[in-house]
Chains A and B, each alone.
Chain A
């Protein structure tokens, strides 16, 4: 187990004074986030608080204006997005991100394909990808999509698309997952399934997730960071954070 007296130990991801300025509008302001290895960490906050922007910064989809990002102790502030993904930190998107005209199986296979090391081989037949079908079906099985393997992704209902997206993300066997509102727009049943899935995959991984559904957060997450107008308002376990008067005010304020 990690030694709680050694600061920094047990952290998989850390940001230091992370700031993003969109031409004068500060969307993320001086955020120092610490995510412990093996935990499920929630990032919550009202709409426009900067949660998605934090994800974009962490995965290098946006360059930070200032501050640093450390992943497994390594400074990744200057990495390219694909590099971050290859280091094992893989994100999902707030708006469902499947490959619409690929079949369900092909969606997952694209993610698996990189491991073959033949992704630049334009002279090779795509029959060589068939070796991945077994693994792809296993992954689809885990989200109850194996039966729909030949359905084109665009034809799936929304909740099923999100499940496919998670299966695709898991195909990379990432050490750390960033999930941006994974249950958004889902029916009750799908939410339950996704929660169970996240719990299962988080057994040997770290998850950082943005989530609006507070019962999901309470159920799943070890640590919660509350973001408001780009800054960290509170951080801690659910029980503690949910009693914080500032957080209550922010949430009630946002609801009105």
Chain B
């Protein structure tokens, strides 16, 4: 890709020894410490929302940033998993963990079905196919009785984690969500830095070349798509648990667009970029609610300004700065 993005910068940072295994450990250690302390300083529901969207965006980035696939239908996985989890917890009274797992599993299967068809095309056609399927899911969400239609699925019970930790306690719920995020983020991190991740990167860099080296590009893309969809689902299931409701906005194409925005704003192809983008967007949505409909205009303007000023995304630009800083 000719567009400068976070990929070059994070690779350069590695190469130049700005990111070292030791510094990385310290950085993630500090993040975990912050994650454990923060709910005592900041409103936990806000933090949980950020974590869910950060996981969603990180899952999306596995495709956009590391495989070079722009999905424009990722809300389908977020929302479907949310509905499934919500319904199972509410109507069947399933244990929380099972409910979340089931939602994730359904999103994974859906990812497999949609992915298998979408990866037959690339570029804008791939994006349009994913969008088309997401619109069908939206239609189903409107039509099917169990989703609650326009009203959404309300009053999802939070239950008890491991059978005895009551999740209606905001702190307990927060640590549960934090653990889910850490797990999901860990899977993404490992995938990026695995033999499989290296093949994905080569596909992103030069697809015909990867093919000519004997890699069945389509199968790698499909596996990446399925992992991404499954983790987007995990984010959706967790979000349903946090907010105790799922509505049509979770399957709406606005959500699919929002995740693109978060990822580009934070820095696609960087490990932390999507999370930073999610933090920014959720914070704006949260603290600017007083502006009513203007929120979308403000977020839109921030996005335009952000992308114009930081073409590599915030994290990409930060890495770029550090790299060119005369030590």
Chain B, 208-232, contact with A by CB distance < 8 Å: what is the 0/1 string?
A: 1111111111011001000100000
Bound CA span A124–B191, Å = 8
- Are B213 and A111 in contact, CB atoms less than 8 angstroms apart? yes
Instruction: Enumerate chain B interface residues (CB-CB to A < 8 A).
Output: 7-8, 11-12, 15, 190-191, 193-199, 201-202, 205-206, 208-217, 219-220, 223, 227
- Closest 10 pairs (CB-CB, A-B): A85-B214, A99-B205, A122-B196, A97-B209, A122-B191, A86-B214, A82-B216, A118-B195, A110-B202, A122-B194
- Are A91 and B194 in contact, CB atoms less than 8 angstroms apart? no
Bound CA span A82–B215, Å = 5
The answer to whether A97 and B206 touch (CB under 8 A), given A82-B211, A122-B223, is yes
A101-155 at interface with B (beta carbon < 8 Å)? 101-103, 106, 109-111, 113-114, 116, 118-126, 128-129, 150, 152
Residue of A nearest to B202 (CB): A110
Bound CA span A168–B210, Å = 11
The contact of A80 among B201, B208, B216, B220, by CB within 8 Å, is: B216
Cβ-based interface call for A40 (8 A): no
Taking the closest CB of chain A, its distance from the CB of B121, in whole angstroms, is 16
Taking the closest CB of chain A, its distance from the CB of B16, in whole angstroms, is 10
- Which residues of A have CB within 8 Å of B196? 118-122, 124
Residue of B nearest to A120 (CB): B196
- Are B213 and A126 in contact, CB atoms less than 8 angstroms apart? no
Cβ-based interface call for A61 (8 A): yes
Bound CA span A92–B206, Å = 12
Bound CA span A86–B191, Å = 25
Bound CA span A113–B194, Å = 11
Cβ-based interface call for A81 (8 A): yes
Cβ-based interface call for A93 (8 A): yes
Bound CA span A128–B223, Å = 20
Bound CA span A113–B211, Å = 14
Residue of A nearest to B201 (CB): A102
- Are B193 and A126 in contact, CB atoms less than 8 angstroms apart? yes
Instruction: Enumerate chain A interface residues (CB-CB to B < 8 A).
Output: 59, 61, 80-82, 85-86, 90-93, 97-103, 106, 109-111, 113-114, 116, 118-126, 128-129, 150, 152, 168, 172
Q: Given A110-B210, A121-B195, 5 more contacts at CB 8 Å?
A: A61-B212, A93-B212, A98-B206, A114-B215, A116-B195
Taking the closest CB of chain A, its distance from the CB of B245, in whole angstroms, is 33
Bound CA span A121–B193, Å = 10
The contact of B198 among A92, A98, A113, A152, by CB within 8 Å, is: A113
The contact of B212 among A85, A101, A102, A121, by CB within 8 Å, is: A85
- Residue in B213, B216, B223, B227 whose Cβ sees the most chain A Cβ within 10 Å: B213
- Which residues of A have CB within 8 Å of B205? 99-102
A-B contact pairs, 20 of them (CB 8 A): A80-B216, A81-B212, A82-B216, A91-B212, A97-B208, A99-B202, A101-B7, A101-B8, A110-B213, A119-B199, A120-B196, A121-B195, A122-B197, A122-B223, A123-B191, A124-B194, A126-B193, A126-B197, A126-B198, A150-B15
The contact of B208 among A61, A90, A102, by CB within 8 Å, is: A61
The answer to whether A93 and B209 touch (CB under 8 A), given A101-B11, A123-B194, A126-B197, is yes
The contact of A124 among B15, B195, B202, by CB within 8 Å, is: B195
Residue of B nearest to A174 (CB): B214
Bound CA span A62–B185, Å = 39
- Residue in B191, B212, B214 whose Cβ sees the most chain A Cβ within 10 Å: B212
- Residue in B197, B198, B209 whose Cβ sees the most chain A Cβ within 10 Å: B209
Bound CA span A100–B223, Å = 24
The contact of A85 among B198, B213, B220, B223, by CB within 8 Å, is: B213
- Are A152 and B15 in contact, CB atoms less than 8 angstroms apart? yes
Residue of A nearest to B190 (CB): A123
- Are A85 and B195 in contact, CB atoms less than 8 angstroms apart? no
- Which residues of B have CB within 8 Å of A109? 198
- Are B11 and A152 in contact, CB atoms less than 8 angstroms apart? yes
- Are A59 and B212 in contact, CB atoms less than 8 angstroms apart? yes
- Which residues of B have CB within 8 Å of A98? 206, 209
Residue of A nearest to B224 (CB): A122
- Which residues of B have CB within 8 Å of A93? 208-209, 212
- Are A113 and B206 in contact, CB atoms less than 8 angstroms apart? no
Residue of B nearest to A86 (CB): B214
- Which residues of A have CB within 8 Å of B194? 121-126
